[in-house]
Structure 1
Amino acid sequence: ADGPRFLLTHVEDIEERKRHELQLAHRASHDSLTGLPNSAELRARLGARLCGRPPQPAYAGADTALPGPGGAQPAATAVREAALVGSVEQDAFVQGFGFDGLDSPVDLAALGDFAGLDAETLESLTGGGDGGPFDHHVHTYAPAEGEEDDGTKGLAVLFCDLDGFKSINDRFGHHTGDAVLIEVARRLSHGVRDGDTVARLGGDEFVVLADGLGRADAQDLAVRLRNAIIPPIRFEGRAVRVGASFGISWAACGMSAEEVLQSADQRMYVEKRSRSKAGRRAG
């Protein structure tokens, strides 16, 4: 009875302002010509998968089989996954390996007794289980070098440089060159899976991030994308053609995003030099 007799409400429509903010954010992270993520966004996505801690070398007993929810697992795998305690799913995973009663962070003494590992090895594999920055980071590993596929899946980085693009710009002008870049971006985007990243690094350079691939998978993807680029591109009554050279590198913790991209760039130039000019498609 003695409370306020009136309520004043102010309502403001901010839809247009929010739309403008989203447009500005998109422009800052995407290429204006092709609509693909730009160089800054590519480095941000790649850097989010990496940390400064390099993969640990194998240790004695790493191949010892430990019981797991899906069957026996190498000790290195079990211990590495056990270090990720911190969520319900991760806790369940650890308990599936028989580490019942472990609290978060990992009880290193109990884990060491179970796996038969000394304290120094456990420290290197788990980051100490002290709640540090690596406890809940899922590390990125590169598949082993060599022709034999060890079954490891990693984050493949495919660096793509177009062959014959400069001659198209010189002969037909930048308007035609822009149309070629737009079409190449479309073909690359249609050739990858949902969740993969296709970015324009600049000029006629593109980068594809494809997670969960083995070495043979990455090679197959590069071949498919190259074949998708080769068919003629029609623009204003003419057909032009470009080819593509791909360099494949692998992201791994312990590397920076710039190091990963430089490695892929170098491999691309090796691949480009190894192919004869007759084997390249040009405009």
Structure 2
Amino acid sequence: MLEEDEKLIVFVNGKEEKGDWNTAYEVREQFAKKSDVVIVNGFQINENVELKDQDEIVLIRKGIMPKEEELECMLTARHTPAVHGKLKKGKVAIAGLGGLGSNIAVSLARIGVGMLRLIDFDVVEPSNLNRQNYDIRHLGLLKTVALKQQLQDINPYIQIDTVNKKITEKNAAELLKDCEIVCEAFDNPENKAMLINTVLTHLPGIKIVSASGMAGYKSTNLIRTIHPMKNLYLCGDFETEAMAGCGLMAPRVMVCAGHQANMVLRLLAGEEEV
């Protein structure tokens, strides 16, 4: 038996523990014999590893939603405390829940953004399933309702606000005023321009991440992110519009949505350059 001052100090699911263990699996045996997943310092291990003082261990059972504090520990370990703390405080609105918006929302929920406001007035239709993050079981549901279900399956501990109405020049400022970042995710160019102009003109403290040009199946390497002016970020190839023979399809749309979500992540983390 080791002396008290010789024992190893580690953090198990966020709680400081002191003991005689040498390896991660010895900790698992003491605290969570049924756990299938062992994460050490943010990385899941598949074979036993030796521990060092102050290591962080997260123990999670497969197929079971962890408690809020356990999930927080896991995300913190994955993202680092400084970054995750900023994401948890984030407030992001997503205007339009189609191919762009639904995929942006899923990415932001997975990284633990604290509050997501989902804005749309439409229902899920069969034609949406080729690129939007919905299942057959969602057909006929309001997109706000269907997407909230999806996000709660990913992370039930984030705040999800839903607004079942069309965003317009008249109501946009009121709907968005308490958010840090707005993701513009409309199909219609006029609606895109309206939202960008409204945010830049009436909400000077809010950043907007917009998109243009992701139709068809040209190279995804053409899609990029630019910062054309203060508080405005644009993602896409900026020229390929949906038209006859060049429809909106999952791969390019999801790549563009990934650019938007990553720009939101960078902004929340304090990085304003693309």
TM-score by length of 1: 0.22
User: Comparing both chains, which one has the higher relative contact order based on Cα–Cα distances under 8 Å and sequence gaps of 6 or more?
Assistant: 1
Q: Which structure has the larger Rg? A: 1
- Comparing both structures, which one devotes a greater share of its residues to strand? 2
- Comparing both structures, which one devotes a greater share of its residues to helix? 1
